[in-house]
Amino acid sequence: MVSTIVHQLTKDLTPEEIMQQGFQNYYVDHTVGIWPQAAGGVPFNACEFQSKGDPITDLFEDMAAEQKARSTYDNILRLVKDPEVADPIRFLRAREVVHFQRFGEALRTVQEELDCKNFYAFNPSFDFPKKSGCDCK
């Protein structure tokens, strides 16, 4: 969606407008085509995805990623007032909030199945803890 918004905003730019807005370096490499990158110019790559194979670690990472995306959308909304841009960004921001909540629910479900006194001591994907018999509720 963000790439589509960028395309809509840049498709009719003249070379002069590209220069005035500081897009000349991007234009030289990509014309006005979509090239996913961070605001600082770092291209998108697989390093954006983090996985350790431990459900607890991975769920916390997922939750953090959703919050980082939400923060980015908040920053965009502080800068952009055009409703054709802001409305889809608001939709994406709301989606990040829901994703964060769902990952939080999944994390609680995983933790409920573990030894309530020490659920960080093992990787539930590989280690099978003995239930301590404690009542965690």
- Write out pLDDT tens, residues 110-125: 888 776 556 566 666 6
pLDDT at residue 86 greater than cutoff 80: yes
Which structure tokens are listed for 31?
């014309």
In terms of domains, do 59 and 101 share one?
yes
Q: How many domains does the chain have?
A: 2
In terms of domains, do 53 and 26 share one?
no
Rounded distance between C-alpha atoms, residue 62 and residue 85, angstroms:
26
In terms of domains, do 70 and 82 share one?
yes
Say what the alpha-carbon torsion angle 66, 70, 73, 78 is, to the nearest 10 degrees.
-160
In terms of domains, do 39 and 94 share one?
no
In terms of domains, do 80 and 107 share one?
yes
Name the least confident of 10-19, 37-46, 84-93, 116-125.
116-125
- Return binding residues for Mn(2+): 66, 99
- Return binding residues: 66, 99
User: What is the torsional sign of CA 126, 130, 136, 137?
Assistant: positive
- Residue 26: which pLDDT band, with cuts at 50, 70 and 90? confident
Domain that holds residue 15: 1-47
